[in-house]
Amino acid sequence: MIHQIKTAAARSHDTLLGDAVGAAALMVMLVGCLYLPGLTQGF
């Protein structure tokens, strides 16, 4: 099983950075959406 994980990690080395950037963007959007209702309460 460890061998399979190492092999998969070696194969996906090129897309690993793109996946990390995508995950970070999703987290930023999630936090932004959670703050959105609080921004409209001031009006």
Q: Please tell me the predicted confidence (pLDDT) of residue 40.
A: 82
Give me the residue spans of the domains in the chain: 2-40
End-to-end Cα separation, the chain, in angstroms: 56
Below-70 pLDDT ranges, the chain:
42-43
Handedness of CA 29, 34, 38, 43 (dihedral sign): positive
Q: Please tell me the predicted confidence (pLDDT) of residue 10.
A: 85
Q: Please tell me the predicted confidence (pLDDT) of residue 13.
A: 80
Count the residues in the chain: 43
